Amino acid sequence: MIIQPTSLAALTWAGAASGTSAQSWRIGTVLSARPLGVNPQGLLVLQVGALAVETELPGSQLPAQFQVRVLSLGAQPQLEVLAHPVDPTFQRVLRERLPQQNGYAPLLATLGTLAQRPVLRQLPPDLRTALALLEQSLRTPAEVTRGEGLREAISRSGLFFESRLASPHGNLAALAEDDWKGALLRLAGLLDRRAPAPAAPNRSDAAPPMLQRGMQAQPRVPLPLVAADDDVAPLLDRLHGDVKAALARVEVAQLEASASPLPAWMIEIPLQGEGGRDVLQLQLEFATDPADGSHGWTLGFALDLPALGPVQGELQLREPRLAVRLWAEQAQTAQQLERQFGPLRQRLAACGVLLDQLSCQVGLPQPPGRHSAVLLQATA
């Protein structure tokens, strides 16, 4: 829903939207809300915290009292209507992590620049080792296009780091070498000893990995420009901030998975691609069909490759039946994908899979929002 400020609250709302209000309008903040009525223009008037705002009438009725969480600030703050009261500890940790998180693409670009600097060999051995281990935790396209390789990449994506550590065979030293979060923690600890972490910018270039936001492909970012001299300190400062943002992003995904009423996960896998690094985003969900009680898996993915542009897909498996839907932002990419449909049908048939649907559309899908009651997009 699009929220417009009422005339009486416009100045306060403008301050809140820019993050300068004293009303705690910060990313991750949970505020109380209640409907006040419908104005003569047919807009629903809500009280959100200390502000009165207007919005279009929602498709479903809102309760007399509810809570909203601030997901983003800026010109159009976005609020999530929460279906259940939030645990205070969960709320506090998520409120801390959301402004700190950012996508993996800036970190991957910084790593690429560091790898090209001869001065890298002059860094302390423990820091060079930590950088090498983080590079080693990147997966390759060949690995994630095999079933076992994809399963391993999901397991080592950082989302399950603590559960793997708590297992009878959990080993911190080993996990720090092959788990994305473990490698990030190791590198962050060394960078923390070198210098204090830079302050979080209270903004991010990538939406947080939350189920109700849907999937969003992360394009590569240009390699950061560095001075021609051998001073690597500015690049290490940038790396420190990128590592902290990546850690916060993993923890946002972990918090989201722990609070989801459904067995569903948002997973991100850094890839060593051709001529650079990419990010594969997955959304994995186990669901029950209420009509017949059957069970199945839904796997969504989002990827932005330089040669193809943004691509998304959704695979719904109800054994032995499979439905595959693809979306490509560029028409040329959609045509390329469709040319692979014949071989794909043959391979699935050889595996005994019954293909119910195989399609590719031009344009990217809108987030379904089925894991959240309502998303409110505000304009100041």
- List, in sequence order, every residue forming a beta bridge with 35; answer none if it has no partner: 46
Mean pLDDT of 142-171: 90
The answer to whether the beta carbons of residues 285 and 294 sit under 8 Å apart is: no
Mean pLDDT of 310-322: 93
- Please name which of 137, 164, 91 lies closest in space to residue 243, comparing C-alpha atoms: 137
Greater model confidence, 79 or 207: 207
Over residues 158-212, the pLDDT tens digits come to 999 988 888 777 676 777 778 999 999 999 999 999 888 777 664 567 889 988 7
Query: What burial class does residue 342 get, using C-beta atoms within 10 Å of its C-beta: 0-12 exposed, 13-18 middle, 19+ buried?
Result: exposed
Is the pLDDT score of 367 beyond 90?
no
Give the number of other Cβ atoms within 10 Å of residue 276's Cβ. 16
Name the H helices within the chain: 10-17, 88-100, 105-115, 125-136, 141-144, 147-155, 161-166, 172-178, 180-194, 233-259, 331-338, 341-350
Mean pLDDT of 298-326: 95
The pLDDT of residue 234 is: 86
Over residues 327-346, the pLDDT tens digits come to 999 999 999 999 999 999 99
Give the number of other Cβ atoms within 10 Å of residue 8's Cβ. 10
The pLDDT of residue 379 is: 39
Question: What string of DSSP letters covers 339-352?
Answer: TTHHHHHHHHHHTT
Cα–Cα distance for residue pair 299/326, rounded to 1 Å = 12
| Backbone φ and ψ of 193, nearest 5° | -70, -25
Angle, alpha carbons 60-326-288 (nearest 5°): 50
Mean pLDDT of 264-272: 96
Mean pLDDT of 348-361: 93
The pLDDT of residue 368 is: 59
The answer to whether the beta carbons of residues 287 and 321 sit under 8 Å apart is: no
Cα–Cα distance for residue pair 138/152, rounded to 1 Å = 12
Greater model confidence, 366 or 255: 255
Taking the CA of residue 39 as centre, how many other CA atoms within 13 Å lie in the half-sphere pointing to its CB? 14
Greater model confidence, 299 or 212: 299
- The C-alpha torsion from 97 through 100 and 101 to 103, rounded to 10°, is 180
Q: Which percentage of the chain shows pLDDT scores above 70? A: 83
What the block records as the tokens of 8 is 């009486």
Is the pLDDT score of 378 beyond 60?
no
Residue whose structure tokens are 């600030």: 73
pLDDT band at residue 371 using 50, 70 and 90 as cut-offs:
very low
Is the pLDDT score of 4 beyond 50?
no
Angle, alpha carbons 46-47-48 (nearest 5°): 110
The pLDDT of residue 190 is: 95
Whole-number average pLDDT of the chain: 83
Question: What string of DSSP letters covers 259-286?
Answer: H-SSSEEEEEEEEEETTEEEEEEEEEEE
Cα–Cα distance for residue pair 126/122, rounded to 1 Å = 11
Cα–Cα distance for residue pair 287/18, rounded to 1 Å = 39
